[in-house]
Structure 1
Amino acid sequence: MAAKVLLLNDNKTTMEFVVQVLENIFGKTRDEALKMVLEIHRDGSGICGVYDLDRAWNIAESVTKLARRNNYPLRCVVEPDVTI
């Protein structure tokens, strides 16, 4: 089963930290990461990628651990991918 990994906007996590997460964990280019940060800020969340379920949960856990180590409340959630 495929799953979407989303980042949720908050008022404390810096945009630069989110860019770093997108580059280092999700493999986005700088330009892709900057566009995605603006989307997350504007829409409240953004899909960072679609993965098999186990990988999606591992990625979400990695993002959460990194955010907490840096004292950010950034939330990363996993949702079923129902696109056909």
Structure 2
Amino acid sequence: METNIVTKPKNKVNVKKPKNYKVVMYNDDYTTMEFVINILVVVFNKKLIDAEKIMLDVHERGKGIAGIYSYDIAATKVSTAMSMAKEKGFPFKLTVEEA
């Protein structure tokens, strides 16, 4: 005896690529250039030469992009960097913005 099994086609699941978010650093008159470079190297894993370029963007243009990440990673990096700045007494500002 032969049994035929009829299956319904599975619903196609659309998986969307997560949005990217940029971490923006802002210039201020108190946070040192050395500290900004250190944050870029330690927290954002930038090479020294790239960190210096980003720091100069922040210094000359008023802001610069530290990197582009998924939201959770961007928020974690901002939190870490701002905690480090607070420990040193710097009013360093970073934000997370949709890329």
- CA distance in 1 between counterparts of 2:45 and 2:39 reads 9
* Paired positions, count: 81
Partner in structure 1 of residue 96 of structure 2: 78
Q: Return the TM-score normalized by structure 2.
A: 0.79
Partner in structure 2 of residue 10 of structure 1: 28
- CA distance in 2 between counterparts of 1:37 and 1:53 reads 22
Structure number having the greater helix percentage: 1
> Is 1:69 matched with 2:91?
no
TM-fit CA distance, 1:40: 0.5
> Is 1:44 matched with 2:77?
no
TM-fit CA distance, 1:53: 0.6
Following TM superposition, the consecutive aligned residue runs of length 4 or more in structure 1 with deviations greater than 3 angstroms are none
- Counting aligned pairs with the same residue, the percent is 35
- CA distance in 2 between counterparts of 1:65 and 1:39 reads 22
Bigger relative contact order, structure 1 or 2 (CA pairs below 8 A, ≥6 apart): 1
CA RMSD, aligned part only? 0.7
Structure possessing the higher radius of gyration over alpha carbons: 2
Structure number having the greater strand percentage: 1
Partner in structure 1 of residue 74 of structure 2: 56
Query: Which ranges in structure 2 are unaligned for 5 or more consecutive residues?
Result: 1-18
